[in-house]
Amino acid sequence: MNKLIIPALAALAVLLIACSNLKRNDSVKNAEQKNEAKIDDESVKQDIADFLVKIADARMMDSKEGQLAVTNGTTEEIRAYGKLMVTDQAKLLNEIKIIAAKRNIVLPTDISNDK
């Protein structure tokens, strides 16, 4: 039973977030467009920019899933796991931001509309 709760919670998080993002600007696409101009003038390498944008997007999504687990978790274990997710993903995202800043790469400010 407990093994089914986490995947079900993750699926619910994806569905809820996807529904809430239907009409807003896509932060990931905006970051990609800004990086394209830098790629054209050769100050940024495309493969590195694409990778950093994608992993930043994934970290923000995982953090939102963790937040949902904290607020909507039905057991203390789920809420504790959600808190751990939020903390870990914030640390990873901060490291990604440092790397991106050193390479002059624009990162998204929110998760993509595709998630």
6 in any annotated domain: yes
Q: Are 53 and 107 in contact (CB under 8 A)?
A: yes
For 23, the domain range is 2-102
Total-model pTM: 0.69
111 in any annotated domain: no
pLDDT at 19: 57
107 in any annotated domain: no
13 in any annotated domain: yes
114 in any annotated domain: no
Structure tokens, 66: 């963790």
Q: How many structural domains does the chain have?
A: 1
What are the pLDDT digits (tens) for 51-100? 999 999 999 999 999 999 999 999 999 999 999 999 999 999 999 999 99
113 in any annotated domain: no
pLDDT at 26: 86
Q: How far is CA 35 from CA 31, 91, 99, 110, in A?
A: 6, 24, 14, 16
15 in any annotated domain: yes
112 in any annotated domain: no
Amino acid identity of residue 87, one-letter, is T
Q: Are 62 and 76 in contact (CB under 8 A)?
A: no
What are the pLDDT digits (tens) for 7-44? 666 666 666 665 555 556 788 888 888 887 777 667 67
